């Protein structure tokens, strides 16, 4: 469906990626990775060095911090240890991106439904969202535990639309990774790049093909109002 065709459908729901879009979780993930590096007798890395890899999940962060990937014999052990450490500190320093609490209130006040579609497992996502006072207030939470395939597959976005009772064309998906945009496009939603998120320096988000890019959570409000919210 073309952008023009979608634009005539009033907006009914906003779907959000979690890490790097709704919440700034880089410090806690870096803390877990640096504890893991310490166990390997390696010095800590700066949060700024790890930050661009957060939206790539455990695979991307382990590649940056320990230069290991799924093909390496130690990958499974290191990934599991990283996740175990992170489970104890997933809400240690995490915060909503500045202004997002007010943005969520404004979106709700305008009648929009709110969904979260994340590649973060439920056992991490729920405690984090509770600590941030977002869950269970969000209308739905879609994690990989519910799906056959994670983003960029559109299954999670489509499931969120089904649970919210809205058509994909009446929804927008906001994320800071190409997989988010690809998932939204494949599902038939509008797509928005969270340009303030975990995007690597020099990355050209224009090539992702999203409908818009915002530089702060407040920018989402203007877009939604322009789309009939």
| Contact in structure between 26 and 99 (CB atoms under 8 Å) | no
State the Cα–Cα distance between residues 180 and 186, nearest whole angstrom: 10
State the Cα–Cα distance between residues 115 and 103, nearest whole angstrom: 14
In sequence order, the β-bridge partners of residue 194 are 214
Catalytic residue (choose from 7, 19, 137, 204): 19
Catalytic annotation present for 17? yes
DSSP classification of residue 197: S
Helix then strand then coil, in percent of the chain rounded to 5, is 50, 15, 40
Catalytic residue (choose from 17, 24, 139, 177): 17
Contact partners, residue 40, CB within 8 Å, separation at least 6: 66
User: 145: helix, coil or strand?
Assistant: helix
State the Cα–Cα distance between residues 86 and 10, nearest whole angstrom: 40
Could you tell me where the DSSP H helices lie in the chain?
3-7, 26-39, 47-50, 57-66, 75-87, 100-109, 122-131, 155-164, 178-187, 218-226
User: 111: helix, coil or strand?
Assistant: coil
Catalytic annotation present for 19? yes
**Residues with catalytic function:** 17, 19
């Amino acid at each position: 469906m073309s952008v023009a065709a979608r634009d005539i459908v009033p907006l009914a729901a906003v779907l959000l990626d979690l890490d790097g879009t709704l919440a700034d979780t880089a410090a806690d993930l870096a803390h877990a990775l640096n504890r893991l590096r310490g166990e390997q007798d390696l010095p800590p890395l700066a949060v700024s060095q790890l930050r661009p890899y957060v939206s790539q999940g455990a695979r991307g962060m382990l590649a940056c911090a320990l230069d290991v990937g799924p093909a390496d014999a130690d990958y499974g052990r290191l990934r599991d240890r990283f996740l175990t450490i992170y489970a104890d500190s997933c809400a240690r320093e995490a915060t909503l991106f500045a202004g997002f609490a007010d943005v969520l209130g404004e979106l709700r006040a305008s009648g929009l439904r709110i969904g979260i579609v994340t590649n973060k497992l439920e056992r991490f996502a729920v405690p984090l969202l509770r600590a941030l006072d977002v869950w269970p207030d969000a209308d739905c939470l879609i994690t990989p535990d519910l799906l056959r395939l994670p983003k960029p597959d559109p299954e999670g976005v489509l499931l969120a639309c089904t649970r919210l009772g809205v058509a994909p064309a009446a929804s927008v998906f906001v994320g800071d990774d190409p997989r988010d945009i690809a998932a939204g496009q494949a599902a038939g939603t509008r797509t928005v790049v969270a340009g303030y998120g975990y995007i690597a320096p020099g990355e050209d988000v224009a090539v992702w093909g999203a409908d818009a890019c915002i530089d702060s959570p407040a920018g989402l409000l203007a877009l939604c109002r322009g789309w009939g919210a």
